[in-house]
Chain A
Amino acid sequence: MPLIKFIEHDGTAHDIQANNGDSIMITAINNLVPGIDADCGGECSCATCHVIVDSAWTEKARTLGENENAMLDLNPDREVNSRLSCQIEVSDDLDGIIINLPEFQY
């Protein structure tokens, strides 16, 4: 079970043992990690599961999808490593990944 480290905007950390195959979004939701709304349930329809992946992990977190990129494009808090967490699948490769949460979801 890979370890996912979520860090809230205020610095509060949550170390979560995740299930392979779940998305990062589902992992946060099922463990009550604050800061992710995920209103559409993982359909890449709402952009309310925005996270910023620690730069050391961007390559392992698979590539940014076209639709995902478009959804993120207009997010005022977008950073270089911004992703929609519903589009990142947990795998052993991501063991130890650090996921930073933004202050707001738009």
Chain B
Amino acid sequence: MAAMVIVGGGQAAGQNVASLRQAGYEGEIVLIGDESHPPYQRPPLSKQYLSGEHGVERVHLRPPTFYQDKNIDLKLGVTVTDIDTQSHQVKCSSGENIEYEKLLIATGSRPRILNAPGSELPGIFYLRTIDDVDRIREAMSSARSVCILGGGYIGLEVASVAITSGLNVTVLEMEDRILQRVTTPEMSNFYHELHSAHGVNILTNTAAQGFSGDGKVEQVLCGEQRIKADLVIIGIGIIPNVELADAAGIYCENGIVVDDHCQTSEADIFAAGDCSNHPNPILQRRLRLESVPNAMEQARVAAANMLGGNTTYSSIPWFWSDQYDLKLQMVGFSSDGDAQIVRGDKSANQFAVFYLKDGAVVAVDAVNSPREFMVCKQLYGQTVDQAQLQDSNVDLKTLLHA
């Protein structure tokens, strides 16, 4: 009998199989993941798992026994090589063909690779999987200096863990400011100063052109500059894994294109998570998000619709990043705003920047300010009294009831 088949073993996949069972589906469920681990959380990898605060069990989405108990067939360490939409079958690297009734593609994304002379030297790592971090942790234990390529959230979270563990840390950023792609110059400055104050050496407008070393990486080459590093971690963005879907004739453009039901151009095939290009009815445009909350929500929506439901995806994007003792929580996209309002005290590392468009709240960057984060989720798209929003003596509840 045909099964619910999930290609991929990340958070969207893990949530989808749980949602299928939670909805009462009793048929066969097969999850095919190319990693050897059961579905796990990626956000802690560059934070508590890298620092050693969390062990591997703590990052698993659910314990391995869950899948046995719920009769969910995990095929781990197996790659799907082909989807045959005619015969409704997936072909696996194990040689097995599995027939699907409905298929979820949750293939996620992979790190963008830097091709430069010396990039094959030992000691150069990317950070995406548990296995990656296990290797990085081992290398960190004997390293004295680390050079991080890319001043995005992953790179900065790693910098925070590495400098806290006593390493010399350099961050190279190609653009003229860190976090250039994802936040405003003001937030970039704030995080630049924060890292500098902790001793991280951040070099902007600096691109690695190659690596040198005797048997392992020892230096990162940037024009005239030579940066000493016995460990290099590259975090320069990700690429959605669309090749499998594309080869099967499923419509892809900046991700696997789905509708508001997470359905692809093939009726019985759904997609969720980082790999999907989906419409967001609240933001009124298509998005491809590298985000856990999105992966989880799309997985729930896909599960409902795989079972014949009629559930529409509609949620406001949000994100978080932990660096040092600062929790950054973000709602929406600051680039959508045409004005900003700062609430709180930047010098005390407790503030939120609200972004407004035509007077309506469209985003927030909240540093150690969970109330501001929560209020933004609820005020999204609404006009607010800007004087009250700015005044931290005004209880945010007043704004909700306005």
A contact residues vs B (CB 8 Å cutoff): 29-30, 32, 34, 37, 39-41, 43, 45-47, 67, 70-71, 73-76, 106
Contacts and interface: CB of A to CB of B under 8 A. Distances in A.
B44 A41 contact: yes
11 contacts: A29-B18, A29-B61, A32-B21, A40-B320, A41-B41, A46-B318, A71-B373, A71-B374, A73-B371, A73-B374, A74-B371
A-B complex: 5 closest residue pairs judged by Cβ atoms? A74-B374, A70-B370, A39-B293, A32-B22, A45-B320
A30 B61 CA distance: 9
Contacts of B62: 29-30
B292 interface: yes
Given A30-B63, A47-B370, 9 more contacts: A29-B18, A37-B296, A40-B43, A43-B44, A45-B320, A47-B374, A70-B370, A70-B371, A70-B374
A67 B62 CA distance: 25
Nearest to A70: B370
Interface in B326-375: 327, 329, 370-371, 373-375
B292 A39 contact: yes
Nearest to A66: B370
Given A39-B292, A40-B292, A74 B43 contact: no
B375 A74 contact: yes
A76 B378 contact: yes
Nearest to A46: B293
A71 B373 CA distance: 8
Contacts of A71: 370-371, 373-374
A76 B400 contact: yes
A74 B397 contact: yes
A32 B16 CA distance: 12
A32 B19 CA distance: 8
Contacts of B318: 46
A63 B352 CA distance: 27
Contacts of A43: 43-44, 320, 322
A70 B370 CA distance: 6
Interface string B67-78: 000100000000
Nearest to B315: A39
Interface of B: 18, 21-22, 41, 43-44, 59, 61-63, 66, 70, 292-293, 296-297, 318, 320, 322, 327, 329, 370-371, 373-375, 377-378, 396-397, 400
B371 A45 contact: no
B210 to A, nearest CB: 38
Contacts of B292: 39-41
A41 B61 CA distance: 8
B296 A39 contact: yes
B374 A41 contact: no
B320 A74 contact: no
Contacts of A37: 296
B370 to A, nearest CB: 4
A74 B377 CA distance: 10
Nearest to A74: B374
Contacts of B397: 73-74
Nearest to A22: B63
A74 B322 CA distance: 22
Nearest to B376: A74
Given A39-B292, A39-B293, A74 B378 contact: yes
Contacts of A73: 371, 374, 396-397
B329 to A, nearest CB: 6
A47 B296 CA distance: 15
Given A71-B370, A76-B400, A41 B378 contact: no
Contacts of B293: 39-40, 46
Contacts of A76: 378, 400
A70 B329 CA distance: 13
Contacts of B320: 40, 43, 45-46
A32 B43 contact: no
A106 B293 CA distance: 12
Given A39-B293, A67-B370, A74-B371, A106 B22 contact: no
B353 to A, nearest CB: 17
A95 to B, nearest CB: 21
